[in-house]
Structure 1
Amino acid sequence: MNLTFLGSGSFGTALAVIFSQYNFNIKMYDRNVDVVSGINCDRKNIKYLKNVIIPEKVIATNDIDEAVYDSDIIFLSVPSQAIREISKKIHNKLKQNAIIVCLSKGIELSTYKRLSEVLEEEFPNNSIVVLSGPSHAEEVAAKQPTALVATSKNMDKAILIRDTLSNDVLRIYTNPDIVGVEIGGAMKNIIALAIGIINGMGYGDNSSAAIITRSLNDLVKMGIAMGGHLETFFGLTGIGDLIVTCLSNHSRNRKCGLLIGQGMKLNEAIEKIGMVVEGVTACKIFYNIAKEKNIEVPIIESIYEVLYNNKELHYIETALMSRNKKDENLNI
C-alpha cells in the first residue's frame, strides 16, 4: 500500500517513521528543498524532530505530482489555513479510490467551515477521513503508546483506516461524530494558549485545573451548537486533547501562551515559536461563531480580548473571577 504525507511537519514525520516499520511504501512532500534533501540524504528532518532518524524507506520529494502518484492514502499534515490551497494542487491527480486523511486541526478562517467540509468540496470523488486525538509527535516518534480516533461521513473508510494503521504504537478508535471530533481538536488549542498565559503570569496548578475544567463547558456548548454530540467531548478529542495540549511542554500553543504571559507581544511569541500556532486563529474564529450563535464562552472571550484587543494580561483573571455566581453544572 502506498502512503503519502503532504507536509513534513513534526506529526506527519512521526507517523511516516512509525508506518515505515510496516508493509507500506511512503513518500513525503515538502516545498522546502533543504528539508527534502535532509530527509533523503541525512535521514533527518532538519526543521522538525531533528533527533529522529528517518528510515530509508521514507522518500521525500519537492514534486507534489510525484508525491501523490498512485497513492492509496494521502495524509494532509499542513497548517489548517493551507488545507484548501494544497488540495487545489492535487484534486484532479488522485486515484478514484484514494482516501484523504486529514491530520490538521482547525477551522477555515475565510468560511468558518470544518476542514473535512473544505476537503469534501475539493475532493468530491474521494472519501475523507479525519484522524485526531491527543498525540505529540515527539512521543509518537519515540514509539510511546498513543490513542487516536478516526471519523468520517463514510464510516467504512474510517474503519478501514483504523484497521489498516493501528499498530503497537498507535491504537486507533472510531467515532461517527465527525463534527464533534473536529470541533474538539480545533478548540483545545485555544485553551492551551490560555493555560500558557496564566502559567507565564505565575499562576500554578489550581488555576490551570480551573481553566481546563471550565473550558470543557465552553467546548461542549460550542460543539453541540455546531452539531457535535456530548459524549465525544468526554473522549479523546475532548478531555484527551485538552490534557495533552494544555499540560505538556511539547505543546506549541502552550509555549506561545507562556511567552505572552511573560510579557512578550503576540507576533514576537509566534515568531519565536517558529511554527504555526493554531490556537491564535482558532480563538478569533470561535469567538466570532459564539457571537453569531449567542453562546457565552467566557474563557475564549477573555483570551480574545488579550490577543486581539490589547487588554492587559490580568484582564483574564478579572473577567473570569468576577462573573456572576452560578451552579457548576454544565448549562447545555
Structure 2
Amino acid sequence: MSEKIAVLGAGSWGTVLANLLTENGHDVTIWAYLQKDTDEINNKHTNEHYLPGLRLNEKLVANTDLAESVKDADLVLFVVPTNVVRGVAKQLLPILEKTDKKPVIVSAAKGLEVGTYDRVSQVIQSVIPAEQTNGVVVISGPSHAEDTSVKDITTLTAASTNLEAAQYVQHVFANSYFRLYTNQDVIGVEMGAALKNVIAIGAGALHGLGYGDNAKAALITRGLAEISRLGVKMGADPLTFIGLSGVGDLIVTATSRHSRNWRCGNQLGHGEKLQDVLDNMGQVVEGVSTAKVAHELAQKEGVEMPITDAIYAVLYEDKPIKQAITDLMQRESKPEFDY
C-alpha cells in the first residue's frame, strides 16, 4: 500500500531514507532548506554534496515549501540536526492545525537538546500536541547513510509507546535490505542514539593518536557502561543498551570512517583545532553538542561518566587529549560492575 510521506531534511540520511521510501513504492516529498538542493534533486536526481555518485529515484520530489511538502502526509519524518528540531516543529504545528490529517511523526535525529536536555521525541511532543498526530516513533540503530544507499543490509529499531504506530513504521520502511524491530523503550533508544556519538569522538581521537585495538575496545566497552548508567537513571530499560540502538549503533559509529563523530575525533587526535575540524566537516557533528549536554545532565543526575567528562574537557576546556587519557587511566581502581 502506497503512503504519502514527507521527509524533513535533505542531508545524507534524510536523502537516503527518502530514496528508500520512494523505491518502496511510496509517494515521497523531501523538504530541503536550500533551493539549490531542491533543484539538484528534482532536475539531476542527485545530492552530490552529501552522497557523491548516488543516483536518486526519479519519482522522489524535493520542495522548499514546508506546507506543500507535508500536505496530506500519512507520515512525517524528521531528519534534521537536533538543534533545529524545535524550530522545524514550530513551523509544522500551524500547518497540521489547518488540516484534519493526523500523520505519524517519526524522528531519525540522534542527539539531546542543549539547555533543556530533552530527547528529540520530547522536543517534538513539547511543540506538537498528541491530538495532532497518530503517534510519535523513533528510528535508530547502526546505520551509515553511505552503506544504506548501496543497499547494504541495515537493521534498526522503531521505538514508540504506541506499538501500533511503531508497527506501521516497521511496515512502511521494510524491504529486502532494510529491516526494523519494534521497541517500546523510547528513552533507552534515544539515549543510546545520542550518547554513542560522544564515545565515537573519543574512539576517533584514540585512532588519531595511534592507539591500537586494545584501547579502542576498552573505550567502547566502558563507554557503553556510561551510556547505560545515564540511560537507566533517566528511566530506560538496561536491556535496550545491548540492542541495535545501544551496542549496535555504538560499534558502527565508533569504528567507521563514515562516522562524522569518529572523523572529528580522529582529526583532533592528529592535533587539529576543534573549530577548524567543524568548519571543514561540511555536516553537523552531533557528538560535540551532545558532549556538553551529557556532561551537564550527568552532573545534575549524579551519574559518574568519566569518559564523557574527559571528552567534554577536551572539547570545551582545551584539555590536551593525552592528559585526559592519562587522568582516566590513573583514576582510583574499582570493580568492573557496580551492583
Take 2:270 and 2:335, find their aligned partners in 1: how far apart are those partners? 33
Q: Indicate if the aligned counterparts of 1:35 and 1:47 stay in contact, CA closer than 8 A.
A: no
Q: 2:288 aligns with which of 277, 280, 284?
A: 280
Distance across 1 between alignment mates of 2:246 and 2:328 = 22
Identical counterparts, % of pairs: 39
Q: Deviations over 1:275-302 (max 9, x none)?
A: 1000000000010011111111110011
What are structure 1's unaligned runs of at least 5 residues? none
Partner of 1:211: 219
Specify the code of the residue in structure 2 equivalent to 1:26. Answer: V
Q: 1:305 aligns with which of 299, 313, 321?
A: 313
Quick check: 1:302–1:315 contact (8 Å CA) kept in 2? no
Contact 2:138 2:160 (8 Å CA) reproduced = yes
Match of 1:119 in 2: 124
Structure 2 spans left out of the alignment, 5+ residues = none
1:170 matched to which residue of 2? Answer: 178
Aligned pair 1:265/2:273, yes or no? Answer: yes
1:315 deviates by 1.8
**Alignment match of 1:20 (pick from 19, 22, 31):** 22
- Give the length in aligned residue pairs: 331
State the shift of 1:206 in Å: 1.0
Q: What TM-score results when the alignment is normalised by the length of structure 1?
A: 0.98
Contact 2:112 2:293 in 1 (8 A): yes
Aligned to 1:108: 113
Aligned counterpart for 2:303 among listed residues 292, 295, 303: 295
AA in 2 matched with 1:28:
I
The more displaced of 87-96 and 239-248 is: 87-96
Asked if 1 retains the 8 angstrom alpha-carbon contact of 2:154 and 2:177, the reply is: yes
For the residues of structure 2 that align with 1:159 and 1:45, how far apart are their CA atoms? 30
**Cα distance in structure 2, aligned partners of 1:238 and 1:90:** 30
Work out the CA distance in 2 between the residues paired with 1:26 and 1:163. Answer: 16
Q: For 1:132-281, what aligned pairs fall within 5 Å after superposition?
A: 132-281=140-289
Indicate yes or no: 2:50 matched with 1:48: yes
* TM-score of the aligned structures, taking structure 2 as reference length: 0.96
1:69 corresponds to:
71
Q: 1:121, CA displacement in angstroms?
A: 1.6
Equivalent residue, structure 2, for 1:11:
13
Matched-pair contact (CA < 8 Å) for 2:114–2:293 = yes
Matches of 1:301 and 1:110, distance apart in 2:
17
Q: Secondary structure at the match of 1:91?
A: helix
Counterpart CA distance in 2 for 1:177 and 1:80 is 20
Q: Which amino acid aligns with 2:81?
A: P
CA distance in 2, matches of 1:155, 1:120: 17
Deviation at 1:316, TM superposition (A): 2.2
AA aligned to 1:91 is L
- The one-letter amino acid of 2:150's match is A
The CA distance in 2 between the partners of 1:291 and 1:110, in whole Å, is 14
Q: Which moved more, 1:129-138 or 1:159-168?
A: 159-168
TM-superposed CA distance for 1:216, in Å, is 1.1
Aligned match of 1:99: 104
Which runs of 4 or more aligned residues in structure 1 lie more than 6 Å from their structure 2 counterparts after TM superposition? none
Please, which moves more after superposition, 12-21 or 184-193?
Answer: 12-21
Quote the Cα distance in structure 2 between the aligned partners of 1:70 and 1:296: 47
Q: Is 226-235 or 161-170 further displaced after alignment?
A: 161-170
**For 1:133-178, what per-residue CA distance to the aligned partner results, in whole angstroms no more than 9, with x for missing partners?**
1100011110011000011121210111112321112110011100
Task: Indicate if the aligned counterparts of 1:18 and 1:143 stay in contact, CA closer than 8 A.
Answer: no
Aligned counterpart, 1:78: 80
Deviation at 1:20, TM superposition (A): 1.6
Asked if the contact 1:35–1:46 (Cα under 8 Å) also holds between the matched residues in 2, the reply is: no
Write the distance in 2 (CA, Å) between the matches of 1:188 and 1:214. 11
CA distance in 1: counterparts of 2:291 and 2:199, whole angstroms: 9
Give the aligned residue type for 2:36: D
Q: Quick check: 182-191 or 109-118, which moved more?
A: 109-118
8 A contact 1:38–1:44 mirrored in 2: yes
Q: For residues 110 and 23 of structure 2, what CA distance do their matches in structure 1 show? A: 26
Is residue 130 from structure 1 mapped to residue 132 from structure 2 by the alignment? no
